[in-house]
Structure 1
Amino acid sequence: MTITTEFRLRSPALPLVSIPATLPPEAIECSHALCLEPGARVFHVEIDAEHEVTEAQLAALDEVTTVTPLGDRGDTVVYKLTVELDDSIAPAFDPERFDGAKMKSTTITAEGWHETKEFKDYETFHDFHTTFEEHGISVDLISITNHSDDDGTTDDSLTDRQREALELAVARGYYESPRRVTAAELAEELDISQPSLSSLLRRGERRLLTDSLDVRDPGLAGTHNG
C-alpha cells in the first residue's frame, strides 16, 4: 500500500517564499530540487514571464547564492537557484530521512509551500510530518488517500467518510500515546461536530476489526453510510 498526501508547509524560513513575498509574482512553481550538501539546495523554478523578474532581482535575495537562467518554457521563465537553507530547518530537508516522491510541482507563495507527495505508508508520512513540525514548519494536511494492492482489491469495507476520518486521525497522531491531537481538533479540521467524528471513528474501527477478524457484525448489517 502507498498513500498520496496533499499538504501545505508554512514557515517564514522556508526556501523561496521570499520571491513571492518581495517580488511581483504571487506564486512560483518549483519543478525540481536537488540536495547539494546539508545546508544548500538547488531548485528549478518557473516564473510567469509577464512579471519580468530579473536575474539580478533573484540574486539580490539573501538566501540565494547563485542564479542560472535556463530559458523559456511557454509563458514562463525557468531559473536554477542555489539556496542556502536556514539552520533552523535544514535538518528537516535531509534527503536521507524520507523517501516520499513528489507527484506534482511545488507551488510556492508568500504563505508557504503547497505539495503533493506519495509515501510508502502512514508511518513514513507521520515521521515526515513530525520532523517538520519539530523544526518549526507547520504541516497542514489537505487530503490523504491510500492506494489498493496491485490486483485492485482493498482490504476493508470502509465508507469514504470513515476512511477520511481514520486516515486523518492516524496522520495527526490521534492513536498515539499520548495523543498528539484531540477529537475536537480533528472534528474542526473535518468541519463536523465532535459527536459525528466519534461516530465515524467508532464505526470505522468496528468495520476494520470485523473485516480483519473475518466475523459478521450484526450492527453493521444494511448500513452503507458514514
Structure 2
Amino acid sequence: MPRAAQPTKPSSDPSTGSVWTRPQRSRREQPALSRDQIVAEAIALLDSDGIEALSMRKLGTRLNAGATSLYTHVSNKDELIELVVDRVYGEIEVPKPASRAEWRAAALECGNNVRAAILGHPWIASVLGEMGMSYLGPNMMRLSEDMLELFESGGFDLVRSETALKTIWSYVLGTAATEAAWLTALARSGQNEEEWVRQVSAVAVQAMEPYPRTRKLHAQLSRDTVDETRRSNFDLGLDCILDGLEAQRGK
C-alpha cells in the first residue's frame, strides 16, 4: 500500500517573499478556516503573549486546525506577520480636515492615532524593520492614500504631500516603536511605569548631581506622570515637524 502524500507548503515568489505578491487560491480551494480567522487569532496570541510566542504550530493548536489549513493562506511565519501588521494598520483612522486651515490639527490627530495603534499592540515594535513590502498591504495602501489626501487638502502638492507623509510616518513609527519596546520590557519585569520610576529615582537623582541642566529638566518633567510625559514629548516632537512642513506648504 503506497504511503499517503504529505501536504506541502505553497512557496511564495522567491524574488519577493511577500504574501502580497503570491497569488491567492481560488474560492473553490479555500478551506473552512479563513484568512481573517487566522489573522485575528494571531493578533490575539501576540497581544497576550508577545512575539516570542508566535509559531505556526501554536497558532494551529489555538485554531484547532492542522498545518494544511494555515499553509493554504500563508506560506510561513513571515507572511503571517505581514498580514497581522497590515491588520493593525487597518485600525488607524486618518481625519479629513473640513477646511485647508485644519490640515495641521488633522495631521497631529493622525500621528496620535498611529501611535495609539502601535502602543495597543506593542509587539509590533520588534517586526517593523522586517516589513520590506508592507506598503503593498491593502490597509497600508488605504492609509497612504488618505494621508496624501490630508496633505493635499492642506495646500501641499502631491510630491510634497508624499514628503510630508514619509517624514511624519518615520517620526511616529520611530518614537512609538521605542515606547512600545520600553513598555514590553517593563511588562516582563512585572512593574508599571510609576513603580519603576520610584525604584530608580534616588539613583537617577544622584547620577544627575554634576549636571545642572539635566537635573533641572528632570525636576520639571517629574511634575507629570510618566505616561503624560511620554505623550507630551511625542506631541512636542510632532509639532516641531509640522512647523517645518508648514514652511513647505503651497511653495
Name the TM-score, length of structure 2 as normaliser.
0.27
Pick the structure with greater CA Rg. Answer: 2
Which structure has more relative contact order (CA 8 Å, sep 6+)? It is: 1
Name the TM-score, length of structure 1 as normaliser.
0.29
- Larger helix proportion, structure 1 or 2? 2
